[in-house]
Each structure stands twice: as C-alpha cells, then as structure tokens.
Structure 1
Amino acid sequence: MQAYRAALADKDGNPGLLIIDMGEKLFKTPAGPKNVSLEKCDFGLGPGVLKGAYAQMPRYMPDTDRVEDLETRLLHCMVTLQGKDPAEIKKHRFANEAKNESNTDWEKIVAYVAYQSDGMKLSMPTAHPKEREAIKIGEINYFRNVGPLDFSCATCHGETGKRIRLQALFNGLDPQQARDVMGAWPTYRVSHNAMRTMQHRMWDCHWQMRLPDIDMGSPRTVALIAFLMHQADGVKLDLPGMRR
C-alpha cells in the first residue's frame, strides 16, 4: 500500500491533468440557450477571475445572499449566464462508476476552475456572519446522527486510526489530516477512473449512510464543506489530487 500511494504522488502521471484540459475548453466554449461561455462567471473575486478563487471558497456571495462553494456557484453561473436548466445539469453531474462512465462535463469544468488555485494556500473567508454561520452549521451536522444506520460524519471521520478494509479513514477533527485531504480535492479516483469533486464526496458519503440522494449544492453539503475547509485552513493546494 505504501508503494502504491507513493506511485500516486507523481503528478506528471495524473490523468486528471487531461480532464482539466478538457474542462478549460468547455469553460471557454459558448453553450446553453444564451450561447455564451462561462468566462464572466464571478467566483467571488470578480467576473472572470479564476486565479485563487477556489482557495477562498466557500464564501458569501452578495448577489445570491448565501454562502456558496465552487460547484454551487458554477451552477448559478450556468443558469444565469448560459440559461441552462438546473434540473438537467444535476442529472449529469457525476460519472457513474458502475457503468464505467468517463467524466461528465460538470466534473471537467470543476476540475479546471479549482486547478487555477494550485499551489495557493487555502483560506476560506470568515468576515461575513453567514460564512461563520456556515462553518458552525457544518460542524453541528458533522456530529449529527441521521438515517437508518444512525451514522454521522464523525462516525467514520472523528477518530484517528479507523479504516474500512484497507482504506484508512481521515480524521476531519485533526487539522493536519483535514489538510491532507482538502488540499488535494478535486481528486482523480483511480478506482472510479474519474475525477471526483467535493460535492460528489458529500453525495457518496450520504449514500453510504443509506440516506436519500442529497441535492447538489444543498445548504447541508455547503456547510459541511465550509467546516472541512476551515479545518484545513492554510494548507497549500496540490491539485489535481490522486487517490485509490
């Protein structure tokens, strides 16, 4: 396992770089009923500014009056700028590993936008009350037991040394372990043959807890991401990540 993990650390051999290139093309290509690109999308640093934007998300967005992560904001831009139907976007948000599907356009674009913060330090803003509120709500939900298994996020990710089979589980309450994970996401999952986003991670964890499909960009997912990003504050982003 150690040799396997060492091999994954070689970024030059990361297939995620190809997915990022595809995402750049999609990002800059006019699409949707309005036939415009996403190049004027404002991820919090101004329209069209991508450099460093992901490193400062989730963040409060005045035009929507809510805290948004990268994917929630991307959805907003696809709807407002391109005129796309949010329900249709959500139908094709994640590649189905059971069907050996390749990455969706959504995952490619998310990977591209996030990559523009590669090498920068993660620093989620906390100046606005709603940003601090999101972190607190995320922390509460991290410990909240739900579903038929009576699980919380902390059930698997609240102690050091836990594992499922050969997979070690990170402790999100340990800042260093949180940095190791959050600093390398979005990540290329070798076992999925696909790039995976943080909203996919939220969806997958909820599915494994035997909960109904959670809506992409729901307040719960954004709050959980805000909490984990805050836990990982200061980490230097190493994107794209690569995991088993």
Structure 2
Amino acid sequence: MTQPQMDWDDAYRQDTPPPWSIGAPQPELARLVEQGKVRGEVLDSGCGHAALSLALAERGYTVVGLDASATAVAAAAATAAERGLTTASFAQADMTDFGGYDGRFGTVMDSGLLHALPIDGRQAYVRAIHRAAAPGAGLFILAFATRPFGGAVPGPTGFTADELRETVATCWTVDDVRPATLYGNDTPAAGGPASLPGVERDGAGHIMMPGFLLSAHKETVG
C-alpha cells in the first residue's frame, strides 16, 4: 500500500515497518479466510512481510508469497522458518511479468498491490496472476479508493468501483466490488496520511482508509 515507482527494498530496510506492514493480515482478507472463501494452494501476490501468508500457513494452507522486494522476501522466509511453517514459501518476482506457476493456484490474494503498481503495468499484472491461477480459481483484491489520503498528500492512484472492475475484467470474471477499509500503521510522518487532521483511527494503532474489495474468478474453460 504505497505510491508507485518507489524503492521497495529501501522501504523494508527501515528500522520501523512500512505503513502497510501492520503485523497481521488486512482485516478484510482475514474475514475471507474465516468465512472459508480461500481454497486450494494460495498465491499471496505482493506479499511484503507476508502476515497473510503466515496466517494462512498456520491454518494449514500451502501458500506462495511473491514480492518485488528481496528484503521483504528474506524477512518473510526467516519468520516462516522461525515459526516452523513449512507450507509457506517465498520468492522475489516482477509481479507484472513472472512465470513458473502456470495454472497452479486455487486462490489469488492481493493485499494492496494493484493500486501500488504504475498504471501502465496494471494490465500486465492482471494477466500474470491470471496465468498463475488454476481454472475456477478465486481472486480477491483489496485496493485503495481514488485519492484515499485526500488531495494534499501524495499516494497511490486508487480506483473508483467501476475502474477497479474494468481493470480486472479484461481477464477475470468479476463477481463483486464492494466498499472496504484498508489499515495502516499510525506513525505520523511529515506530510504523510497519518498526520492529516480528521484521519480515522481504530484505537489499536492503525489509521483506516477507504477502498474496495474485489472478488472474481477464472473461468474453467478458455
């Protein structure tokens, strides 16, 4: 959950976690897991520190976390090893152009990656995860709404509900797009979203930002 074309490795080398690395799965995605919506082997797309991957592995899922940052991937793998989670594996990848997983995953989960990609790379990404998905696979994307931080703060180019649907529908069959909330660490920095007046907080150290949760599936033929 951050702005495009940044140095991802640098973000993960800092003494404090990046704002989007909240130490637990995003609540919107955690609810999907609790509801039994996740099936088969899982791709955690843009896994970062991989709180989602680790939580899934703890529940017995086999999960692969891919991320552009070698630093994040190394940290995720180390945490999995420390916890004895042998069903979670991690690799560095260009998320707009990766291979080696064709038709493999029963579920693809995106916890704030799509909105962080440069606009001209989004279709390549949608195609790449479609290629990696098995026929009938489910897709869940949690993404920022348009201008989630307001007009005064730089940030990712988010979506309207229709824009998100249209972006994904080039490859996938979209089942639903609904309003959702994304959480970030409440660590005010000069000019950052947490420093804005009136920003919503959950009382547990997080700021809350508007977004959408998209649900889709890959057709079983074609």
TM-score bracket for this pair, using the shorter chain length? under 0.3
Q: Tell me: higher relative CO, structure 1 or 2? Use CA pairs within 8 A at least 6 residues apart.
A: 1
Of Structure 1 and Structure 2, the greater strand share is in 2
Higher alpha-carbon Rg: 1
| TM-score using structure 2 length | 0.25
Q: Structure 1 length normalisation: TM-score? A: 0.23
